Amino acid sequence: MPIRKVYENSIEFVQVMDEQGVIDERLGKDLLSDEQITFLYEKMVEYRRLDEIAFTLQRSGRMYTYPQNKGQEAAALGSGFALRKGVDWLVPCYRENGALFLHGLPPELIFLHWMGDERGNAIPAGVNVTPIAIPIGTQMLHATGMAWAFKQRKEDRVVCTYFGDGATSEGDFHEAMNFATTFKVPCIFFCQNNQWAISVPREQQMASETVAQKGFAYGARSIQVDGNDLLAVYKVTLEARERARAGEGPTIIEAVTYRLGDHTTADDARRYRDSEEVAAWAQKDPMIRLRKYLEGKGLWNDAKQQVVEDRAKAFCSEIVKKSEGIAKPDVNDMFDYLYAEMPEELRRQKETLRTHSLGQDPSQAGLRSSAASAR
């Protein structure tokens, strides 16, 4: 046969809980207990409130820039909950705070980062999280390498790296996916497709119909999931984790979600997107959906909500206090951590806070008279 099919594949979209908070019984059975779902809903409320506080801090000049997570919490919490705290590793971008918090990252570190303080990246030992990645797309290769290290050492660990739809346009996404699949490392590529990369909509970012199908280029398992459906996200991440642990290599997960806020506090999304679009997606808010579910099951009511809101308030004040209460970093900080052992010239710069030689070595200023004759 002179023309024959040599490859075919397809992408499935997974949803467990619909927008009314109703669960597909077949898929949803035994996935998460009501206690777990309640716990995750409560976390979602707390983290949403913290997100809002960060925004107001920035607006009042107490934080420099902040990228809101609003609307994407199901993707972060559903995936984060499917990974083993203290065992698996999370390699984030900057819009999945909830996942990091679940894994033990002190939230004040995120605040410190956005307050312009490197100490926000000093992740405590035992917290298996890497810092926020500012340059888009670069962290996926680090995740790949880390997963590779675990494979080489035969440690039972999985790495999950997060990135946006825009990030899939960078060459590093491609090289990371290709390395990860070629060496079958235990890495999950979790894309939060929130439809926008600053002002560029997904359709102008790529000509492919889905992000998930990009995985075909690497022979990766590729799946699309309703990113505002916490249960579905949990389900596909858990499956990806088990595949990774079984040595079956990476999965790319496209979580279809939406950035309800501006790109960051430096952005004004009204310049480039319709309020109707935002309003339509606001209806799909993962927090509303989850509450509907809990209410439908008789597990939730206004009184409970009030308790959580109060707790969230206290939680937020504590984080603000912690992040604002810390003294300004010492100026030495900018020299002390560049190398394990400080080079001589850097030490001179640190000690004098000068780069000019007369400033570094004031005694040189007097040299002239004594030595000029030698010349």
Partner 1 sequence: MPQMTLVQAINNALDTEMARDERVVCLGEDVGLNGGVFRVTEGLQKKYGPDRVIDTPLSESGIMGSSIGLAMAGQRPIPEIQFEGFMGPAYDQLVNHAARFRNRTRGAITVPLTVRVPWGGGIHAPEFHSDSPEAIYVHNPGLKVLCPCTPYDAKGMLLSAIRDPDPVIFFEPKRVYRSFREEVPEGDYTVPIGKAKVVAEGTDVTVISWGAMVFQCLEALDGLPEDLSVELIDLRTIHPLDFDTICESVTKTGRAVIVQEAPKTCSMASELSAILMEKCFLHLQAPVQRVCGFDTVMPYAKLELQYLPDAPRIAEAIKQVVAY
Q: Among 157, 235, 241, 263, which residue interacts with ligand TPP (rule: CB under 6 A)?
A: 263
**Secondary structure letter of residue 33 according to DSSP:** -
Q: What are phi and psi of 257, to 5 degrees?
A: -145, -160
The residues that touch its own copies, with contacts defined as CB under 8 A, are: 2-16, 18, 24, 26-27, 169-175, 178, 181-182, 184, 204-210, 212-214, 216-220, 224, 232, 249
Using CB under 6 A as the binding rule, whether residue 194 contacts ligand TPP is answered as yes
Tokens 């506080």 appear where?
53
The sign one gets for the Cα dihedral 190, 193, 194, 199 is positive
- 243 is an active site residue: no
Tokens 């206004």 appear where?
302
Q: The tokens of 51 are what? A: 């997100």
Using CB under 6 A as the binding rule, whether residue 167 contacts ligand TPP is answered as yes
Q: Which of ligand TPP, Mg ion, its own copies, none interacts with 214 (beta carbon under 5 to 8 A by kind)? A: its own copies
Using CB under 5 A as the binding rule, whether residue 133 contacts Mg ion is answered as no
- 113 is an active site residue: no
Distance between CA atoms of residues 94 and 176, nearest Å: 18
Using CB under 5 A as the binding rule, whether residue 194 contacts Mg ion is answered as yes
The sign one gets for the Cα dihedral 298, 101, 126, 155 is positive
For residues 65 and 265, the answer to whether their CB atoms sit within 8 Å is: yes
Q: Which of partner 1, Mg ion, its own copies, none interacts with 353 (beta carbon under 5 to 8 A by kind)? A: partner 1
- What's the number of CA atoms in the CB half-sphere (13 Å) around residue 124? 13
Q: CB of residue 85 vs its own copies: minimum separation in angstroms?
A: 28
SS3 at position 223 = strand
Q: Among 197, 223, 253, 308, which residue interacts with ligand TPP (rule: CB under 6 A)?
A: 197
Using CB under 5 A as the binding rule, whether residue 254 contacts Mg ion is answered as no
| Residues 304/309/315/319 CA torsion (nearest 10 deg) | 160
Number of C-beta neighbours around residue 341 at 10 A: 6
Residue range at the interface with ligand TPP (CB under 6 A); choices 28-36, 48-56, 190-198, 209-217: 190-198
Q: Which of partner 1, Mg ion, ligand TPP, none interacts with 87 (beta carbon under 5 to 8 A by kind)? A: none
End-to-end CA distance of the chain: 89
Using CB under 5 A as the binding rule, whether residue 131 contacts Mg ion is answered as no
Q: Would you tell me which residues interact with ligand TPP (CB under 6 A)?
A: 95, 134-136, 164-167, 192, 194, 196-198, 259, 263
Q: Would you tell me which residues interact with Mg ion (CB under 5 A)?
A: 164-166, 194, 197
Q: Which residues are catalytic?
A: 259, 263, 272
